[in-house]
């Protein structure tokens, strides 16, 4: 079981060093330290290891480099080590997860920063990270999202990953709906949002990276503006997807990818549900993308 915690409640955030770190120390059980604080002997003497959270933020070029940073930080005892990676490329977001898998420790959390790293925060606890940090929901999951979208504080053991990819996708209800269905059906799966600024980089790096972590990506919902790229990426496509020139669904089957679209069914079935006849009617289609076609 994992207890979600708000970082503002769990860790004392201060700006001045080091006197202000010590002055209000009685207000919080944990005090957040940066690498620059670790040479201050007085500070470390006043703050025992069980009250220290050591946080590193920056860039790294590989999971091995992050592992080396963790090893250096670990020379100073602490109750938690937190590595926050700036990840300008889609594949960089995998480095913290790969490092967590290799480290196998219960006193470390690591994830990528920004909207593109949102999904890495969800996966980190499944790799042993002892805390879940809540935020505003824009780039950090809110408390509501942790609980209603991802089932926290209970942790399952996902064997397969699904998700929604697009820009933007963090306000989508799809994770909440799909993960609730997985739990109800007893499926060991997890549905994640993947906000990306380029589909090709995500497809080349993240999909293969998840396979390497033991979480094969089983399927994707694809939103604007990547529906045409999704169709071009897949090895196979349904007749409707070919006709529309786009796909909003990618399914992995026997090692290959099938592109399909549910956009047309979504419109036609909704109208049929309301008993709106279509045969012989003139219609106006607003929009020129794949769903419009």
Q: How far is CA 261 from the centre of its chain?
A: 24
Alpha-carbon distance 148 to 177, whole Å? 9
Q: Catalytic positions, please?
A: 227
CB atoms within 10 A of CB 176: 15
- Alpha carbon separation from 143 to 35, 96, 149, 153 (Å, rounded): 29, 22, 10, 10
Alpha-carbon distance 33 to 11, whole Å? 10
Closest CA to 54 of 29, 79, 71: 79
Instruction: Break the chain down into helix, strand, coil percent, rounded to 5.
Output: 40, 20, 40
Contact 163, 194 (CB under 8 A): yes
Alpha-carbon distance 242 to 261, whole Å? 9
DSSP 127: G
Phi, psi of 222 (to 5 degrees): -115, 125
Alpha-carbon distance 188 to 219, whole Å? 14
């Amino acid at each position: 079981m994992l207890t979600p915690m708000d970082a503002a409640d769990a860790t004392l955030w201060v700006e001045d060093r080091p006197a202000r770190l010590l002055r209000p120390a009685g207000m919080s059980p944990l005090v957040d330290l940066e690498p620059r604080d670790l040479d201050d002997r007085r500070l470390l003497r006043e703050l025992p290891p069980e009250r220290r959270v050591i946080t590193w933020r920056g860039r790294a070029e590989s999971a091995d480099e992050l592992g080396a940073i963790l090893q250096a930080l670990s020379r100073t005892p602490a109750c938690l080590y937190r590595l926050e990676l700036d990840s300008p490329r889609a594949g960089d977001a995998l480095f913290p997860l790969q490092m967590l898998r290799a480290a196998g420790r219960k006193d470390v959390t690591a994830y990528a920063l920004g909207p593109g790293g949102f999904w890495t925060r969800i996966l980190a606890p499944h790799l042993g990270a002892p805390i879940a940090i809540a935020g505003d929901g824009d780039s950090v999951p809110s408390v509501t999202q942790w609980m209603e979208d991802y089932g926290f504080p209970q942790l399952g053991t996902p064997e397969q990953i699904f998700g929604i990819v697009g820009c933007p996708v963090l306000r989508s209800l799809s994770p909440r709906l799909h993960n609730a269905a997985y739990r109800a059906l007893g499926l060991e799966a997890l549905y994640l949002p993947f906000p990306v600024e380029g589909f090709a980089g995500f497809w080349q790096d993240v999909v293969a990276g998840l396979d390497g972590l033991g979480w094969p990506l089983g399927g994707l919902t694809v939103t604007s503006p990547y529906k045409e790229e999704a169709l071009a990426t897949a090895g196979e496509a349904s007749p409707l997807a070919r006709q529309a020139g786009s796909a909003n669904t990618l399914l992995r089957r026997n090692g290959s990818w099938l592109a399909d679209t549910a956009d047309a069914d979504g419109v036609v079935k909704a109208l049929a549900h309301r008993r709106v006849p279509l045969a012989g009617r003139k219609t106006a289609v607003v929009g020129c993308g794949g769903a419009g076609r």
